């Protein structure tokens, strides 16, 4: 993963060449809405560090392809959830508590309002962003430079960060019918709340999918980002039968068994899965040993993961332990990833290896 707005554009070629030399065949590019929206509301994909076309040309020039995440909240290493201030401040977009106060989530060193995926206003704003971002990809979709477009929220908070306290946005209360058949009989109010929560999250993702297709993204290139663990996600079960999903492998503290179970389940989904693996951690989290992240990746690959993103390959000073440093040069532990990728190339896809 290379977030272009955290790296000087003059270093983009070096970063792409370095990652290609390590054995990667694609660059994961998160497009952060907040980075591309100007103060007057216009979107800029053409100047300076926002020049999406230039980055894609660099990637294609090295013989690689791009996986583009358009979010609207594509990755966790962004401030203000990656959303423009005007969207965060819009009360119509905010998730609500039972008393109709904004739901606040940590965005260290501050808290910010969490958007509601049940909000019609937020859905419209998010769909407009996705449509504009996909349109900016233009001919790179047609010529194969962009191999995949991922829509949906990457970080774990979707409606609430507390599983037992759901969004009480007025739009959430006005629509109780699930999109897909319920996975549990409605035995009590708690189960009904879970079904309602998943139904709104599913509608949100399908709305973004339709916006991306309407802007020119081929349906076969689309992947839906589902937050949280796949084994505990009714949303993953519902959408995984018909759509390719983007999921995040558990952190190293989950242990080999926890990582194996999650990734093995993701690899078995009929629609397929794209799995993100951690390399290091953001500066506000406890540091993770490079050897631990490498072994977590080895477990994930052995469990059958075929399409993976190493998060983060290079994000400048915002991520401790990335494969490349802020000058886009490989760090000492990067050579171990190169060896792992070389080994994995010889493994049969989708086959477990003990």
Residue pair 36/44 in contact by the 8 Å Cβ criterion: yes
Q: Which of 182, 179, 185 is nearest to 206 (CA)?
A: 179
Q: Which two tokens stand for residue 6?
A: 């955290």
Dihedral, 296, 298, 304, 305 alpha carbons, nearest 10: 60
- Whether this prediction's pTM lies above 0.95 is answered by no
Q: Where are the beta strands (DSSP E) in the chain?
A: 26-30, 65-71, 104-107, 110-113, 146-151, 222-225, 245-248, 273-278, 307-311
Residue-wise pLDDT tens digits, 77-100 = 788 999 999 999 999 999 998 889
Helix 12-22 × helix 334-344 angle, to 10°: 50
How much is the pLDDT for 210?
Answer: 97
Under a CB-based contact definition with an 8 Å cutoff, are residues 210 and 219 in contact?
Answer: no
Return the percentage of the chain with pLDDT > 90, whole number: 48
Q: What's the pLDDT band for 189 if we cut at 50, 70, 90?
A: very low
**Who has greater pLDDT, 55 or 323?**
55
For residue 174, name the pLDDT band (cuts at 50, 70, 90): low
Both tokens of 125, joined, read 């704003």
User: Which tens digits make up the pLDDT trace of 98-113?
Assistant: 889 998 888 877 889 9
Q: 175 pLDDT exceeds 50?
A: no
pLDDT > 60? residue 164: no
Task: Judge whether residue 202 has pLDDT over 60.
Answer: yes
Position 250 scores a pLDDT of 87
pLDDT for 277 beyond 70: yes
Whether residue 317 has pLDDT greater than 80: no
Taken as a whole, the chain contains a residue count of 354
Answer for the pair 308, 341: CB distance below 8 angstroms, yes or no.
Answer: no
Q: Which pLDDT value is given to residue 291?
A: 86
Contact between residue 294 and residue 302 where contact means Cβ atoms under 8 Å apart: no
Query: 133 versus 161: which is more confidently predicted?
Result: 133
Question: What is d(CA 50, CA 133) in angstroms, rounded to the nearest whole number?
Answer: 12
Statement: residue 182 has pLDDT above 80: no
Question: Is 7 in contact with 316 (CB distance < 8 Å)?
Answer: yes
- Give the pLDDT band of residue 165 (cuts 50, 70, 90): low
CA 28/CA 322 separation, integer angstroms: 14
pLDDT on residue 197: 67
Mean pLDDT for the chain? 85
Residues 345 and 343: their CA atoms lie apart, in Å, by: 5
pLDDT at position 351 over 70:
no
Radius of gyration of the chain (CA): 20
181-193 average pLDDT score = 45
């Amino acid at each position: 993963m290379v977030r272009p707005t955290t790296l000087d554009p003059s270093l983009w070629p070096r970063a792409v060449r370095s990652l290609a030399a390590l054995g990667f065949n694609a660059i994961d590019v998160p497009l952060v809405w907040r980075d591309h929206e100007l103060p007057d509301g216009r979107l800029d994909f053409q100047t300076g560090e926002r020049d999406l076309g230039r980055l894609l040309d660099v990637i294609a020039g090295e013989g690689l392809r791009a996986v583009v995440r358009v979010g609207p909240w594509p990755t966790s290493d962004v401030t203000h959830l990656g959303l423009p201030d005007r969207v965060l401040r819009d009360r119509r977009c905010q998730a609500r508590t039972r008393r109709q106060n904004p739901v606040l989530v940590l965005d260290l060193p501050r808290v910010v309002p969490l958007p509601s995926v049940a909000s019609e206003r937020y859905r419209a704003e998010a769909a407009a962003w996705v449509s504009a971002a996909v349109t900016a990809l233009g001919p790179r979709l047609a010529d194969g430079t962009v191999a995949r477009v991922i829509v949906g929220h990457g970080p774990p908070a979707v409606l609430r960060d507390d599983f037992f306290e759901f969004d009480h946005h007025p739009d959430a209360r006005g629509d109780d019918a699930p999109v897909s058949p319920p996975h549990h009989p409605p035995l009590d109010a708690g189960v009904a709340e879970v079904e309602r929560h998943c139904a709104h999250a599913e509608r949100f993702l399908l709305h973004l999918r339709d916006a991306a297709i309407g802007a020119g993204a081929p349906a076969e290139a689309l992947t839906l980002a589902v937050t949280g663990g796949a084994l505990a996600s009714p949303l993953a079960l519902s959408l995984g039968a018909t759509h390719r999903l983007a999921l995040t492998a558990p952190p190293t503290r989950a242990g080999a068994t926890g990582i194996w179970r999650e990734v093995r389940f993701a690899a078995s989904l009929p629609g397929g899965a794209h799995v993100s693996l951690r390399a290091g951690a953001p500066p506000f989290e406890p540091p993770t040993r490079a050897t631990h992240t490498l072994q977590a990746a080895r477990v994930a690959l052995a469990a059958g993961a075929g399409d993976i993103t190493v998060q983060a390959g290079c994000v400048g000073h915002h991520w401790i332990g990335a494969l490349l440093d802020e000058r886009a040069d490989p760090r000492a532990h990067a050579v171990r990833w190169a060896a792992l990728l070389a080994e994995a190339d010889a493994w049969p896809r989708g086959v477990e290896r003990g």
